[in-house]
Structure 1
Amino acid sequence: MRDTPRHTPRPPVTARVARALLWAASALVLVACGLTWFTYRTLTDGLTTSDALNTTRRHAPRHPDNSVNLLLIGLDSRKDMDGNDLPREFVQDQLHAGSSEIGYYNTNTLILMHIPADDGRATAFSIPRDDYVQTLNGDGSPQGHYKIKEAYSYAYTAAHDRLDAQGIRGAELEHRSREAGRAATLQTVQQFLGVPIDHFAEVNLLGFYDIAKVLQPVTVCLNHPVHDRYSGADFPAGVQDLDPRQALAFVRQRHGLDNGDLDRTHRQQAFLSSVTHRLKSRGAFDDLGRLRKLFEVLKKDVVLDSSWDVLDFARQAPALTGGRTDFHTLPITGFATIGGEDVNLVDPERIRATVQSMIGPEGTAPSPGATDGTTPAATPSATAPSAAVTSAAPSAAPDGKGGRPASAVGGPGQREFAGPSVTMGGVPCVD
């Protein structure tokens, strides 16, 4: 006797529909994930990354929480990523940036941005480029006492000469020499401020221009009209929109300003404030077309550390992209002339205390010593026997531009030059 075949009852129509919908939803999720992955890879493929930060982390202070310290490095170089000169007519005629020999590999912009873990306000510190400190190599060994901007150039030159003697040529020679410069800058800043660096971005003059080109116009506000033939800055007072060429002139100007380079840091801060606000207001991180243009600039002109997921970071750092950032310029104690060079004198212990008091116990300040990354308290005997120390009085500003008295910060002798304090329409005003 044969078994009578059993007929499995079909599930109700509603169950079949629900199952079909579930399969369709699963398929859509898979497709969306694939598209997201493809879009992300399309955006990020080709970014120039650096491992320099990995070589310095073992020498950095401890980092106890989930906040992020980001170092922005503005390289005063008239060369591209491979070491080729930027087009002369573009650099000189449009950017008013001089010849390829000017600037070399100095870091004329150093800004540490602290983004807290609790979605609070970000805090940014501009480090004046002429601060006289003990610069370090990437391995923590001392270079000597120089302007902090020169840590990069001294390490770059030493590595370039060594690698060239080994027969390394072309783009590889440039890339490896710059890695040494980055590592030296990262190490010097970490030790100078007593806090760790989690990520960094390096941009050259052309990068500033190209970023402004994507996000133009850049809105700024000036308390007074300016005219400077060196940088090409020629602006009236008040709120105004700048094109890319004007934006670069704005951040580069130091001639004709009361405090020279110290006032220029405030212009860099105002530029960053305007750019980050514009990123948010224009929805740059939600518009694929704008995002593509921005990443094309990053690929051409910007170097990022290899562990940084910049797209994910931008979406997770509303304080940075929403304009909620407090800017400060680190204080100096006075000026000196050392070896024919005008330098800023600093009190490293007070600077570390100032930084850590504003952002919390982000790291452990190193013990004073030969390789702590800083120079001793700034006095003539602590720097050089022939150092001609001047005060921050009107007749003592660097470059002979005159200065103005500054408010005391951090104790006797500490001077900080006031940054943007007045706003017009939400735009910080600067001198």
Structure 2
Amino acid sequence: MSEPWNGPGGRTTRHRGTRVPGGRGPGADGGRTAGPDGGRTARPDGNRPTGPDGGRATGQPGGRRTADRPAPRQRDRRADGAGPRGRSRPDAGARRRPRQLSRGRRLLRAAGIFLSFLVLVTAGVGWWFYEHLNGNINSVSLDGKGGTETADAFGRTPINILVMGSDGRTSEEDCKLGGGCAKTGVQTGSNADVEMVVHISADRSNATVMSIPRDTMTQVPACKNTDTGRSTPGYYGQINSALEYGPACQVATVHQLTGIPIDHFVKLDFSGVVKMSDAVGGVSVCVSDNVYDTYSHLKLSRGTHTLKGVAALQFVRSRHGFGDGSDLGRTVSQHIFLSAMLRKFKSAGTLTDPTAVYDLADAATKALTVDDGLGSVRKLVALATDVDKVPTKAMTFTTMQTAPDPRDRDRVVVGPGARTLFATMANDQSLSATPGAKPSTAASPAGDATPEESTPPVPASRIAVTVENGTAITGRASAVAAALTEQGFSRSAGTANAPSRTASTTLTYGAGQKAQAETVAKALNLPASHLKEGAGAALTLVIGADWPSGTSYPGTASAPAPADTKAATADAHAQTADQAKTCAKVSPYKTVELNGVPMTPAEAYAAARTKPDSDA
């Protein structure tokens, strides 16, 4: 853009005929042409006409003035150059300075007007952009169903976000991308087929991303979707189904399962993945072998690829192409994709290119549904700033440990080590810390009992606990009982309502059952001070008003003992976001079909020669 005071080419120009300071007579071009010394017009030979004494010609032939034209009366001039009455003769530069200052003032004034205009235009565009992005955002209230984080000793608070990938075909665009609408058309419901709990530490030095497989069976609490009016009194079912009752219900379900306070949520649909991958210019991923998932339609040759749009969606949706062909393999490939996207965000140039930033911000705000706590551009920018503070080597991706569901081999339940993983996140521990950290040696979560007072633990499978609800909150006993069952405790005892409301949670045990009670208390993070011996012969847990939500007791004011980070990451497929050379492991099993014939993804790739690759 050229300055308004300049010529068409963007630089200051002098037009013909324009008066030039210091010029006198007309030159060949119609202006007044200065001689070599900036004085009067030069002769064609380039020399200035002079008289015999070197002064100006006053009457000699060839001089400017002719003999028949008398020279005007001259002022007295002293030999030393002083003017009349001894005043010094101003030099040429002094004579021209007032005119130069005047021109400078005009330039400065023009520059000021232009800059003021530029500031106003920029501010106007910025305000429009800000309002435009705010208008893109769709936000939903959590209604406090995810619990509340506790600040550390310095007043800093961790951030826990549930990131959900919806399988909903709630628009024609999602129907086209996800398929499955041929008979039903655009649908109204959706499941959370991708669930990741993102924990950002209170000091912003580290982060943990834990995937929860969609096939996990758990207790869904009583919920009501304020948008659709659908409600449930609570049920035992697949964890991803809770989204049918709204994002807040999905948050409450994950909070109840893990005991981790969930402050926020972010929900992304099929088209959102496409928009985000396009906005960052593609995401670089690697596959260990040729792969063709005939279900998600991902088709890639062995090696590294930059995926955009639909190809990126095919990669993150593929569950038959990687690992053992289940949802567990898909979580690992999703971690690889997200790690690459984070590296792209942090790379030089991505966030310094105004066009890229606009495209990314516009795509993100259009693609996301968030809670009220993230429902503005300012809040999303603050979150992005917090994430950017964490180096990629301190971002750990994990998958919740699982075990086969005894009642359905195609489903899973919380497995060994998962509770330790939950505890590291709830206690704000880093999984990317220096290896060799000492594991917890506390006999109970709160450390109330000394090692000498504790008795050897009893296997969970040999312990049955009756869980009673002593609160006014529906479903509390069922939720805690389901959590115990998921950890391997016997189902035989059942649940009930307590005879009366109680303020404090208690676990009562009979004679000789102290070891069993301690095992239960450890599983629930219940301090030993809440255990008491009774006259009965069974273990009875009464949930009090001090435990209003979640399946892990809120704890005490004392700092929790550090969890064993090695145990937390055992069988959790842990990796950090800086591992750029990690390839997604293509499944060696016959997990796909082509023309009705079971094949491995690599065999399907070879058989589908005419089908173009996803990144072609």
| Cα distance, 1:215 vs structure 2 | 1.7
- 2:555 maps to none
Task: Note if 1:263 corresponds to 2:329.
Answer: yes
Alignment of 1:328 onto 2:328: no
Distance 1:262 1:149 in 2: 14
Question: Could you say which residue in structure 2 is the equivalent of 1:290?
Answer: 356
1:125 aligns with 2:210: yes
Letter in 2 for 1:144: Y
Asked if structure 2 preserves the Cα contact closer than 8 Å seen for 1:333 and 1:415, the reply is no
Please say which of residues 188-197 and 237-246 is displaced more in the overlay: 237-246
Structure 1 counterpart of 2:144, from 38, 45, 56: 56
CA shift, 1:358, in A, is 4.7
| Bigger RCO (CA 8 Å, 6+ sep) | 1
- In the TM superposition, what is the alpha-carbon distance from 1:56 to its structure 2 partner? 2.6
Counterpart AA for 2:173 = L
Deviation per residue, 1:367-413 (Å, 9 max, x gap): 98323495433359649xxxxxxxxxxxxxxxxxxxxxxxxx859xx
Residue 188 of structure 1, CA deviation: 0.8
2:366 counterpart residue number: 300
- Structure 2 spans left out of the alignment, 5+ residues: 1-111, 225-230, 430-444, 447-468, 470-475, 493-565, 586-616
Q: How many residues align?
A: 346
Aligned to 2:221: 136
Aligned identity (percent) is 24
Which of 198, 201, 209 is the equivalent residue of 1:116? 201
Aligned to 1:275: 341
- Structure 1 residues 326 and 88 mapped into 2: Cα distance closer, same or farther (>3 Å)? closer
Tell me if structure 2 keeps the 8 A contact 1:111–1:127.
yes
SS at the partner of 1:263? helix
Task: Return the TM-score normalized by structure 2.
Answer: 0.48
3-state SS, counterpart of residue 373 of structure 2: coil
Residues 118 and 279 (structure 1 numbering): CA distance in 2 closer, same or farther, change over 3 Å? same
The structure 2 residue matched to 1:206, chosen from 228, 246, 271, is: 271
1:399-410 paired onto structure 2 within 5 Å: 410=567
Q: Aligned letter for 2:413? A: L
Matches within 5 A, 1:127-206: 127-138=212-223, 143-153=234-244, 155=245, 181-206=246-271
1:371 aligns with 2:479: yes
* CA distance in 1: counterparts of 2:125 and 2:186, whole angstroms: 44
- C-alpha change, 1:299 and 1:225, in structure 2 (3 Å) is same
Note if contact 1:119-1:318 (Cα within 8 Å) is conserved in structure 2. Answer: no
Partner of 2:342, secondary structure, is: helix
Which residue pairs with 1:314 in the alignment?
Answer: 384
SS at match of 2:410: strand
Task: State the distance in 2 between where 1:331 and 1:120 align.
Answer: 25
Change over 3 Å in CA distance of 1:417–1:333 after alignment to 2: same
Q: Which residue of 1 aligns with 2:29?
A: none
Give 3-state SS (helix, strand or coil) of 1:145's partner: strand
- Structure 1 residues 324 and 220: CA distance shift in structure 2, 3 A: farther
2:278 touches 2:308 (CA, 8 Å); kept in 1? yes
Aligned counterparts of 1:234 and 1:322: Cα–Cα separation in 2:
29
CA gap of 1:89–1:150, structure 2 versus 1, over 3 A, is: closer
Q: 1:221 to 1:90 in 2, by over 3 A?
A: closer
Amino acid at match of 2:271: L
- Cα 1:196–1:36 change in 2 (3 A) is farther
**Match for 2:418 among 351, 354, 361?**
351
C-alpha displacement of 1:287: 3.3
CA distance in 1, matches of 2:362, 2:294: 31
Alignment of 1:213-224 (within 5 A): 213-224=278-289
What amino acid is aligned across from residue 335 of structure 2 in structure 1?
Answer: Q
Structure 1 position 152, deviation (Å): 1.1
Taking a change above 3 Å as real, the CA distance of residues 87 and 268 of structure 1, as seen in their structure-2 partners, is: closer
Task: Tell me, in whole angstroms, the C-alpha distance in 1 between the residues paired with 2:278 and 2:267.
Answer: 18
- Return the alpha-carbon distance in structure 2 between the equivalents of residues 422 and 209 of structure 1: 21
* Paired letter, 2:138: T
Instruction: Give how far 1:117 is off.
Output: 2.8
Q: State the shift of 1:87 in Å.
A: 6.6
How far apart are residue 187 of structure 1 and its match?
Answer: 0.7
Question: Is contact 1:136-1:188 (8 Å) kept?
Answer: yes
Decide whether the 8 Å contact of 2:158 with 2:428 is kept in 1.
no
> How much has 1:41 moved relative to structure 2?
2.0
Partner SS for 1:370: helix
Q: Secondary structure at the match of 1:268?
A: helix
Where do 1:75-94 residues align within 5 Å?
75-80=166-171, 85-86=172-173, 88-92=175-179
Q: Quick check: 2:147–2:263 contact (8 Å CA) kept in 1?
A: no
- Largest Rg, 1 or 2: 2
**1:69 matched residue in structure 2:** 160
Q: Which residue of 2 aligns with 1:3?
A: none
The answer (yes or no) to whether the contact 1:420–1:430 under 8 Å persists in 2 is: no
Cα-Cα RMSD: 4.3
What's the CA shift string for 1:294-338, capped at 9, x where partnerless?
Answer: 232234321122222111221232245857411000001223444
What CA distance in whole angstroms lies between the structure 1 residues aligned with 2:219 and 2:210? 19
Give the Cα separation in 2 of the matches to 1:332 and 1:415: 11
C-alpha distance 36-310 of structure 1, shift in aligned 2 (>3 A): farther
What secondary structure, in the 3-state scheme, does the structure 2 residue paired with 1:273 have? helix
Deviation digits for residues 17-40 of structure 1 (CA, Å, limit 9, x no counterpart)? xxxxxxx9xx99x97995696266
Structure 2 vs 1, CA of residues 351 and 233 (structure 1 numbering), >3 Å: closer, same or farther?
same
Q: Hey, what does 2:299 align to over in structure 1? A: 234
Question: Which amino acid letter does the alignment assign opposite residue 345 of structure 1?
Answer: V
AA matched with 1:418:
H
Task: Measure the CA separation in 1 of the matches of 2:239 and 2:131.
Answer: 37
SS at 2:405 equivalent: strand
One-letter code aligned to 2:421: T
SS of residue matched to 1:303? strand
Show the counterpart of 2:26: none
- Give 1:333's aligned amino acid: A
Shift of 1:208: 0.8
The CA deviation at 1:285 is 3.7
Q: Find the aligned partners of 2:344 and 2:577 in 1 and give their Cα distance.
A: 19
Q: Give distance in 2, aligned partners of 1:33 and 1:374.
A: 57
Contact 1:209 1:248 in 2 (8 A): yes
- How far did 1:92 drift? 4.1
Q: What one-letter code is carried by the residue in structure 2 that aligns with 1:128? A: P
Structure 1, residues 180-200: CA drift from partner, whole Å, max 9, x if none? x11100111112111112222
Amino acid at match of 2:363: V
- 8 Å contact kept, 1:124–1:326: yes
> CA offset at residue 288 of structure 1?
3.0
Preserved contact between residue 276 and residue 320 of structure 1 (Cα < 8 Å) = no
The answer to whether residue 196 in structure 2 is matched with residue 41 in structure 1 is no
Contact 2:392–2:577 (CA under 8 A) maintained in structure 1: no
